[in-house]
Amino acid sequence: MQKLSILCFLVFLSLPLAAQKKPAPKPKAPAASAGASKSIAAGKQIYSQYCLSCHQADGGGVQNMNPPLIKTSYVLGDKTRLTKVLLNGLQDVDIDGEPYNNVMPSHDFLTDQQIADVLTFVRNSFGNKATAVSAAEVKAVRAANKK
């Protein structure tokens, strides 16, 4: 027990160090938990069914029409904002300086779990690496969104 807490303490100490080292070999991201892998696999199905026709199989979108999902501020940034895009749709917004003229419809008919899965998939595909989105987080955003 004591050993474990020392270990935890050491890891805690080394975190800011790791963050500072710029070209450091990427510390192996904590292996995606079984839950996250399951979520990514389920999310892939949702993506193919509801997202792919606009955002394309490679997540690259369509110039001037449908935004790419590759390392954009929307995808990698604030999870609440990203969740709201699915719940409410998106229109008339430039993304990272580029205009996209198509309309994204609301996908509020997806369940909290489905939205969590597809967002986790998108945030961990096409070269993206970002934290998972949980059904509980989606539920909270949806509840606040209704006000």
Partner 1 sequence: MKKNLTRYLLLPAALVGSLSLYALTTPPTLVADANNAGLKLPTGFSALVVAETGARPRHLTITPQGNIYVKLNRVNKSGQGILMLQPTSGGKAEVKTGFGNYGGTGMYYKDGYLYASSDQEVFRYKLNDKGEVTNPSQPEKIVTGLINRRQHESKSIVLDNAGNVYVNVGAYSNSCQQRDRQKGSLGQPNCPILDSAGGVWQFKANQMNQTYGNGKRYVTGLRNVVGLDWNQQDNQLFVMQHGRDQLHDIFPDLYDAKQSAQLPAECMYAVKPGDNAGWPYMYYDQVQQKKILAPEYGGDGKKEADTKFIDPAAAFPGHMAPNGLLFYTGNMFPERYKNGAFIAFHGSWNRAPEPQAGYFVVFQPFKNGKPDGKWEVFADNFAGAPEKVASGRADHRPCGLAQAPDGSLYVTDDAKGTIYRIFYNKK
* Alpha-carbon distances, residue 116 vs 23, 51, 68, 120 (angstroms): 32, 14, 19, 6
Note whether 78 and 141 are within 8 A (CB): no
Tokens of 102: 């198509």
Contact 116, 134 (CB under 8 A): yes
For residue 112, the surrounding DSSP H or E stretch is: helix 112-123
Give the residues lining the site for partner 1 (CB under 8 A). Answer: 48, 50, 52-54, 56-58, 60, 62-66, 91-92, 99, 101-106, 109
Residue number, 130 or 142, with CB nearest to partner 1: 142
Q: Rounded to the nearest whole angstrom, what is the least distance from the CB of residue 23 to partner 1 in the complex?
A: 30
In the complex, the smallest distance separating the C-beta of residue 102 from partner 1, rounded to whole angstroms, is: 6
* Rounded to 5°, angle at Cα 66 from 60 and 69: 40
**Which residue's CB is nearer to partner 1, number 58 or number 78?**
58
| CB of 33 or CB of 45, closer to partner 1 | 45
Instruction: Please say which residue, 104 or 119, places its beta carbon nearer to partner 1.
Output: 104
| Shortest distance in whole angstroms from residue 56 CB to partner 1 | 6
Q: How far apart are CB 58 and partner 1 at their closest, in Å?
A: 7
Q: Report the alpha-carbon distance of residue 121 to residue 41 in Å, rounded.
A: 7
